Amino acid sequence: MGDNLIGEGRNVADVTTAVANGDLSRKITVDVKGEILEVENTINSMVDQLSSGGAADEAAPNPRRIVIVEDDEDAREMLKALLELASHEVHDVSDGRAGIELVASVAPDIVFVDIGLPGIDGYEVARRLRERHTDLPLVALSGYGRSEDRRKALEAGFDVHLLKPVDPERLSTIIAALPLRRRKQVANDCPGGGLA
């Protein structure tokens, strides 16, 4: 394989697919919508984890149900692919209103929300989710990491402020640190799975 994995018209999600299929060159140049993205460290870190049986394998025994609310398609697909590689069930949407509705319908274990969403921004999404789901872990996704940015995220109701591009090792650490939430099980129309 040559030095350039990415052909014209390919995007970050295609890079992630290439990683999953094991045909990734260690040197990557990505041109998305005319912009060169800095993804080499993220991709190389992910490849190292996958090849060494690292963080992705560690998350597999306790797969989580995860919601991603991110308007940037490439960032959303990259994060989704990372999480699915670690055996998590992932649901994603591109705007805040749809994110709030999705959380209500799938009852996730954790929600990742981009701060810079159009319409209802990530801070407002967090405030609204926190009103209804006091124990739901919320992770802010942001390209800004100043102390003021972290403070605003915590004040809005986020539990964690995560810088983009997302570091796969940090992502695995955050998810592994979460307690497993008890879902109300219903089977045969009986709470608790009908085991009584």
Selection from 21, 74, 73, 11 nearest residue 46 by Cα:
21
> For 44-84, how does the pLDDT look when each residue is reduced to its tens digit (9 = 90+)?
455 455 444 444 444 446 899 999 999 999 999 999 999 99
Cα angle for residues 71, 74, 75 (degrees, 5° grid): 65
The mean per-residue pLDDT over the stretch 148-152 comes to 94
The reported pTM is 0.67
Mean pLDDT to the nearest integer, 152-176: 92
Residue 36 CA to its chain's centroid (Å): 22
- Look over the chain and give the mean of its residue pLDDT values, rounded to a whole number: 74
Report yes or no: 165 and 39 within 8 Å, Cβ to Cβ: yes
Tokens of 22: 């094991």
pLDDT at 121: 97
The mean per-residue pLDDT over the stretch 96-108 comes to: 97
Query: What residue type is 106 in one-letter code?
Result: V
| Residue 89: φ, ψ to 5° | -90, 120
Contacts with 17 (C-beta within 8 Å, 6 or more apart), sequence order: 81
Give the residue among 184, 117, 187 at the shortest CA–CA distance from 156.
Answer: 117
* Predicted confidence (pLDDT) at residue 160 exceeds the cutoff of 50: yes
Give the pLDDT of residue 180.
Answer: 65
> Which homologous superfamily is 12-180 in?
Response regulator (3.40.50.2300)
Task: Examine the pLDDT at 28 and tell me if it is beyond 70.
Answer: no
